[in-house]
Amino acid sequence: MMSEYDPNYKSVPVTAKVGFKAVVFNPEDEVLFLRRSSKCSRAGGWDFPGGGIEFGEDPYVGIEREVTEETQLVVSDVTVVNVESVVDAKGEFAIIIGFKAHTNGVDPVLSWEHDGFGWVSREDSVNMDLPEMHKNILLKALSDIR
């Protein structure tokens, strides 16, 4: 059964940004962590490659672009492992898509957004100091059977 049409109905505008993060595994099954530079929010904090989706961009293409922009690494086997809504540091609502990906590279070349990196074992990765959203993506990526 359908409800009756309400002539006073007004749609609510969409107000969410869309972004993504990728948990990247190397051939040794280690996780890539990036340290945020002093030019970014959460300076010195650990991070995963990611960013915002560009207008009209496919999310899979977008995360591959972001990983390459931030690390010069090429990824494959990209899969979605997590989707959640967050309120960012500016108080804006965002939907964040968490991906899992693999690379054959081991020596990232960092963009200005990061000033350090580390490849961390699966076991040790869960002990990294991460924001809750990042931790959620990591745990989903680690639990996802390949």
Establish if 131 belongs to a structural domain. Answer: yes
pLDDT under 50: residue ranges of the chain: 146
**Residue 13 phi/psi, 5° resolution?**
-65, 145
- The count of domains in the chain is 1
pLDDT at 36: 92
Quote the pLDDT of residue 145: 53
Q: What is the pLDDT of residue 144?
A: 61
Quick check: is 12 in a domain?
A: no
In a domain, 3, yes or no: no
Measured in residues, the chain has a length of 146
Per-residue HEC secondary structure of 93-139 comes to: EEEEEEEEEEECCCCCCCCCCEEEEEEECHHHHCCCCCCHHHHHHHH
| Full residue range of the structural domain in which residue 46 is found | 17-143
Task: Give the global pTM.
Answer: 0.87
Tokens coding 107: 């020596």
Which CATH number belongs to the domain containing residue 106 in this structure? 3.90.79.10
The radius of gyration of the chain from alpha carbons, rounded to an integer in Å, stands at 17
Q: How many CA atoms lie within 13 A of 15 on its CB side?
A: 9
